[in-house]
């Protein structure tokens, strides 16, 4: 059995920050200065960040935004399905992708990488036969250690 994985950046499905502004407008969401700051940071970092990380990074960049505003904007964007939210034991993490994708977590550093993994059709068919469900999407959570420096 083989699965295909490629790093995120090469995927055509990755929307740009302008696409996301447009999506927010279509959803009738107001694009306040603070909301744009949060979106710009998530798209620049392309990582999974806590509300505190985002608050600290924005303030380090000299952006004047309160912790409550960061938190409220993240919640609004997440509940509208514009950004992703991962519930981890250490708290919630927010990411820039909202399409289904998989994650690889480093056991040593805790760093989380987005992955696009396609399971073989045969395996999906076996799961459908076994469960009686038609699979519509899936997300894999992989953990591992770096074998060699890249
Ligand atoms: Zn992700």
| Spans in the chain with pLDDT lower than 50 | 1-2, 6-12
- Please give the CATH topology (third level) of the domain spanning 14-95: Arc Repressor Mutant, subunit A (1.10.10)
pLDDT of 150: 63
Max intra-chain CA distance, the chain = 55
| Cα-to-centroid distance, 89 and ligand 1 (Å) | 16
| Cα-to-centroid distance, 93 and ligand 1 (Å) | 9
pLDDT of 90: 85
| Cα-to-centroid distance, 57 and ligand 1 (Å) | 19
| Cα-to-centroid distance, 69 and ligand 1 (Å) | 22
pLDDT of 98: 86
141: its two tokens: 């959570």
pLDDT of 92: 95
| Cα-to-centroid distance, 84 and ligand 1 (Å) | 7
CATH of 100-144, one of 3.30.1490.20, 3.30.1490.190, 3.30.43.10, 3.10.180.10: 3.30.1490.190
| Cα-to-centroid distance, 22 and ligand 1 (Å) | 21
pLDDT of 2: 45
pLDDT of 34: 96
- Spans of all domains in the chain: 14-95, 100-144
Answer whether 14-95 and 100-144 agree in fold. no
| Cα-to-centroid distance, 98 and ligand 1 (Å) | 8
């Amino acid at each position: 059995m083989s699965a295909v994985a490629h790093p995120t950046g090469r995927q055509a499905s990755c929307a740009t920050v302008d696409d996301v502004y447009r999506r927010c407008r279509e959803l009738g969401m107001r694009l306040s200065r603070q909301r744009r700051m949060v979106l710009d940071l998530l798209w620049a970092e392309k990582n999974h960040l806590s509300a505190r990380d985002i608050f600290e990074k924005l303030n380090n960049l000299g952006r004047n935004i309160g912790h409550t505003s960061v938190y409220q904007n993240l919640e609004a964007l997440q509940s509208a399905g514009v950004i992703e939210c991962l519930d981890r034991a250490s708290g919630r993490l927010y990411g820039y992708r909202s399409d289904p994708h998989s994650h690889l977590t480093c056991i040593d550093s805790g760093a989380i990488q987005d992955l696009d993994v396609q399971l073989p059709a045969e395996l999906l068919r076996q799961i459908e036969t076994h469960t009686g469900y038609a699979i519509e999407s899936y997300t894999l959570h992989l953990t591992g250690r770096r074998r060699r420096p890249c």
